[in-house]
Amino acid sequence: MTDDTSRPISIRGHVRTAGPSLALVALVLLAGTVPALAAGQSDPAISVATDDIAAGETTAVPVVLTTAPNGLAGYQLELALDDPAVARFENASYPDSFGLTTDPVVSSDGGAITLEAADLDGQVEPGASDVTLATVELAGVDGGETRLTVASSQVDADGGGAVEPATTATTLTVTGDAGTEAAAANEASSPADASTSESGSAAGDGDGGSANAAGAQSTTAAEGPLPMALVLAALAAAAAFAASTARRP
C-alpha cells in the first residue's frame, strides 16, 4: 500500500513541477536565441575610408570594424596596395583601448602592412559599432589610382569565436606628380632668371660697349687726331716761314 500511494504523489509532484520547468527552459532558450538572431542579422565588415592625396603628401585613414555583435578579443589584418608606385604605407597606430598591440610591419616596397592587436580589458563590448582597429598612414608617390584591399584577416570575438567580416576594396587617388611639379616649378622660374640674366648681360654689354666706345673715342681724341693736327699745323707753319724767308732780298 505504501508503494501504491507514494507513486501517484510522486507523479503529481513531477507533473506539477514539469510545467514550470518546461516554461523556464523555453524562456532560457528564447533568451539565448534573440542575441543569436540579432547576431545573424548583423553584417560585420572592415572598412577603410580613403581621401584623395597629392603626390609627396601623407594622410591618415582609419581602419574600422563596422559592428562587433559578440565583442572583440583581438585581430590580425594585412592591408595591401595594388600599385606601390602610386602610393605606399608609411606606418600605423592603435587606439589606446587595446591592451596588447604589435608594431606595424610594412613591406620593403611599402605595398603591404600587417596590423595586430588584442582587447585584453574588454573595451569593445558585444553590440559595439564603428570600432576603430587602427589608423594607417599613407603617402602619395605619383599621380594615379591604386586599389587598397584587405589581403587577409583574422578576427576573434569574446570567448574565441571566429568572426568573418566582409571586406571591400577601396580606390585611392593620388593627384599631381612630384617630379613633374618640381620640373614645372623650375621651368617657371628659369625664364625669369634667364630674362634677368640676359637683360643684365645686355645692360652690362651696352654699358661696357658704351664705356669702351667712349674710352676708345677718348683715347683716339687724346692720342690720335689731336697730335696729328698739331704736326700738320707745325709743318704748315714751317713751310710758310720758309717761303717768307726765301722772298726776302
What does the pLDDT read at residue 139? 97
In a domain, 51, yes or no: yes
In a domain, 10, yes or no: no
Q: How far apart are CA 19 and CA 210, in angstroms?
A: 124
Average pLDDT over residues 133-155: 96
What does the pLDDT read at residue 153? 93
Same-domain check for residues 64 and 169: yes
Label each residue of the chain as H, E or C.
CHHHHHHHHHHHHHHHHHHHHHHHHHHHHHHHHHHHHHHHHCCCEEEECCCCEECCCEEEEEEEEEEECCCCCEEEEEEEECCCCCEEEEEEECCCCCCEEEEEEECCCCCEEEEEEECCCCCCCCCEEEEEEEEEEEEECCCEEEEEEEEEEEEECCCCCEECCEECCEEEEEECCHHHHHHHHHHHHHHHHHHHHHHHHHHHHHHHHHHHHHHHHHHHHHHCHHHHHHHHHHHHHHHHHHHHHHHCC
Look up the pTM and report it.
0.58
In a domain, 16, yes or no: no
Q: Phi and psi dihedrals of 142, rounded to 5?
A: -150, 155
Length of the chain as a residue count: 249
**194-207: per-residue pLDDT in tens?**
444 455 555 455 55
Same-domain check for residues 134 and 206: no
Give residue 113's pLDDT band: very low, low, confident or very high (50, 70, 90).
very high
What does the pLDDT read at residue 108? 97
Same-domain check for residues 141 and 191: no
Same-domain check for residues 160 and 232: no
- Decide which of 176, 198, 218 is a domain's last residue: 176
Same-domain check for residues 52 and 157: yes
Count up the domains in the chain and report the number.
2
- Decide which of 120, 151, 176 is a domain's last residue: 176
Query: CA dist 24 to 36, 61, 137, Å?
Result: 19, 49, 53
In a domain, 163, yes or no: yes
**Residue 130's domain is classified under what CATH number?**
2.60.40.680
Q: Phi and psi dihedrals of 184, rounded to 5?
A: -65, -40
* Beta-carbon-side half-sphere exposure of residue 243 (alpha carbons within 13 Å): 6
Query: Which domain covers residue 225, as residue numbers?
Result: 182-242
In a domain, 168, yes or no: yes
Task: Indicate whether 44 pLDDT > 70.
Answer: yes
> What type of residue is 135?
T
Q: How far apart are CA 104 and CA 125, in angstroms?
A: 25
Relative to beta strand 144-156, strand 170-175 is antiparallel
Same-domain check for residues 67 and 172: yes
Same-domain check for residues 100 and 207: no
Residues 6+ apart with CB under 8 A from 230: none
